[in-house]
Amino acid sequence: MPKATGKGEKPKSMWGSFKIFLKSIRKYRLGIWSSVALTVGSAVLGLFIPKILGDMTTIAVNSYPEIDWSALGLKAILATALFTGSALLSYAQAYILAVVSAKYTKELREAILDKIAKLPIAYFDKHQYGDTLSRMSNDVDVLTTSMSQEIADVSMSLTTLVGVMIVMLTISVPLSLITFVVVPISVVVVGRIMRFAQKYFREQQKTLGILNSEIEEDYSGQVVIKSNSYEDDAMADFSRTNEKLTTVSRKAQIFSSLSFPVTHIFTNLGYVAVCALGGSFVVQGQINIGDIQAFVEYVSRFNRPITEIASTTSTLQSLLAASERIFEFLNEPEEEPDVSPAREIAKVKGEVEFHDVCFGYLPDRPVIRNFSVSVKPGMKVAIVGPTGAGKTTLINLLMRFYEPTSGYISIDGVPIREMKRSDVRQMFGMVLQDTWLFSGTVEENLRYGKLSASLDDIKRAAKASNVNHIIEALPNGYRSEISEDSDNISAGEKQLITIARAMVTNPSMMILDEATSNVDTRTEQLIQDSFERLTSGRTSFVIAHRLSTIRNSDLILVMRDGAVVEQGNHDSLLKAGGFYAELYNSQFAEG
């Protein structure tokens, strides 16, 4: 799998990213250099063809009226052999590059997916999904396509350029000097032009990522957009981004496209001079007619690689911009490595303690302050409080999605920072407010957390979760397909399926986060019954806005502004007449 950089190395610029890109393809150097060698061989074979054709013209002219067909035939056979050899070598290099490009594309996407798995949750809280998707699809395609194209084009162009220069000098030095003088002039001019183009190619890839994010958000949020009559505003937002992309893309292409006509002008001025002077040399007998014919063809071939190299600058700019975005992503800070050796808990009891925990997503804005609580095994702990009180943040800390700024959390007396993250997370089953099911069968979704589960295990969990009868009523039962957006089943059914999925894994502890906030009363009762079975005998943490659902909790933590302001059971908290009583009574004031 390709690595972005060495330890601690980060791309500082487009060219810095390009150097990192070169390092990432080292494992393919045999295939790449083989392709380059074949390209050089193809170009070299092609170099002799104009000279042979010119010799054929000279033979025909000098032997007229009795043409030497035997000599012409030998030259024709040689030219055909060179044509064929050059074509075969060209095909071979194209085949090798296609294989290398396909493998590199595969591994680069795997590296990005592997990177996603290693990134902290904080990264996903700060970055748009569409931009990451754009790097994985569009930027990878641009990078690998440009790579295969550039290797072939540059190798062919440079070989042709050097070879043609040598052959031209052997034919006529004066004519060659006329041709060569235009090269440095055109290179200097084109170089200045491309410096302008570079910043627009960078901005183009960045804007494309933003555009993809907006497309994804508009597609997935159509219900919200339509219900709020936001269609015109959403279209206006998209149009602004699309217009910006159009503008920067146009500028990038305009500047990069200037390289070809500018080079073309200079090289053709030399071409005119060669034709005029070469004609006089033929008349004066200083050069054969066949040689001038070959020289004119070489002038054309000399101009071609120059213009091709100039035109590849556009592709190179796209490659540089794509590589910068890809390797910038691959160099994002990962989660801190687990301690080694990590501590383990042979059999989880479920005793959880928060020891003076403090945390803030931003250094100067604490969310949790001096939080301490002790949860005994098997307790059902409810966490309540207004929005922004820090309820979900506690769960994020418990699951080690974030690390406390100070203090620590322990399970069965072992600080979780001394355990592997994967071990900590496997102790918990999670049922969240935002249910997530992937496209596939109901059975595959239920087995997601435990691939070794049998169909009988799955059915037992479904019956315990009150969802078995719903699944059996589907057209194909447990083999019924769930659509990509899970829109062919209701919100309550999805919630029950996620509860069943948690039951299949048989976790040591449970986390339930606002799991009944989007369902009707009947479904809520089914979910509550499922919760009772799911949490029975397990330490569980329940976040809920509907306080009626947590009255039977062993411990209720009342949070406000990042701190526990009250704790106790339902009855004791009501009798205290504090903040919990205020929250509870406000929900049932109408009743």
Sheet holding 368-375, edge to edge: 368-375, 352-359, 406-411, 414-415
pLDDT of residue 343 exceeding 80, the answer is yes
Q: Distance (Å, rounded) from C-alpha 560 to C-alpha 389?
A: 5
Instruction: Answer for the pair 534, 564: CB distance below 8 angstroms, yes or no.
Output: no
| pLDDT tier for residue 253 given thresholds of 50, 70 and 90 | confident
pLDDT digits (tens, 9 = 90+) for 127-170: 777 777 778 788 888 888 877 777 888 888 888 888 888 888 88
| Report for 332-341, 346-355, 492-501: range of highest mean pLDDT | 346-355
Distance CA 512, CA 580 (A): 20
Query: What pTM was computed for the model?
Result: 0.64
The length of the chain in residues reads 591
Which of 3.20.190.10, 3.40.50.1100, 3.40.50.970, 3.40.50.300 would CATH assign to domain 436-506? 3.40.50.300
H-state helical runs in 466-520: 468-472, 491-505
Q: Which carries the bigger pLDDT value, residue 529 or residue 468?
A: 468
The residue ranges of every structural domain in the chain are: 14-330, 350-427+510-520+539-591, 436-506
Token pair 């071609």 in the structure block, residue: 304
Cβ neighbours of residue 225 under 8 Å, at least 6 residues apart? 218, 231, 234
| DSSP track, 112-136 | HHHHHHHS-HHHHHHS-HHHHHHII
pLDDT band at 585 (very low <50, low <70, confident <90, very high): confident
Per-residue pLDDT at 407 exceeds 90: yes
Please check whether the two domains, 14-330 and 436-506, share a CATH topology. Answer: no
Which is higher by pLDDT, 225 or 41? 41
Identify the three-state secondary structure at position 177. helix
| 134 Cβ neighbours under 8 A, 6+ residues apart | 208, 209, 212, 213
pLDDT of 308 > 80? The answer is: no
| Mean per-residue pLDDT, 370-394 | 87
CA distance 245 to 347: 56
> Amino acid letter at 51?
K
Q: Is the pLDDT of residue 1 over 60?
A: no
Q: Which residue has the higher pLDDT, 359 or 21?
A: 359
Class of residue 261 by CB neighbours under 10 A (exposed 0-12, middle 13-18, buried 19+): exposed
Mean residue pLDDT of the chain comes to 81
Q: What is the pLDDT of residue 14?
A: 60
Give the pair of three-digit tokens for residue 104: 């590199």
Confidence band, pLDDT 50/70/90 cuts, at residue 415: very high
Mean pLDDT over 299-312 rounds to 71
Amino acid (1-letter code) at residue 431: V
For residue 251, what pLDDT band results from cuts at 50, 70 and 90?
Answer: confident
CATH no. of 350-427+510-520+539-591: 3.40.50.300
- How does pLDDT run across 540-577, given as a tens digit for each residue? 998 877 787 788 889 999 988 878 888 899 999 999 98
Sheet strands (E) in 426-554? 428-432, 440-441, 481-482, 509-513, 539-543
Query: Are the C-beta atoms of 275 and 296 separated by less than 8 Å?
Result: yes
316 or 537: which leads in pLDDT = 537
Architecture of domain 14-330: Up-down Bundle (1.20)
What six digits make up the tokens of 505?
């894994």
**Side chain identity at 344, as an amino acid letter?**
E
Residues near 48 by beta carbon (within 8 Å), at least 6 away in sequence: 82
Percent of the chain with pLDDT over 90: 12
Read off the pLDDT band of 515 (50, 70, 90). Answer: low
Query: Can you give the pLDDT at residue 6?
Result: 40
Query: 467: pLDDT confidence band, cut at 50, 70 and 90?
Result: confident
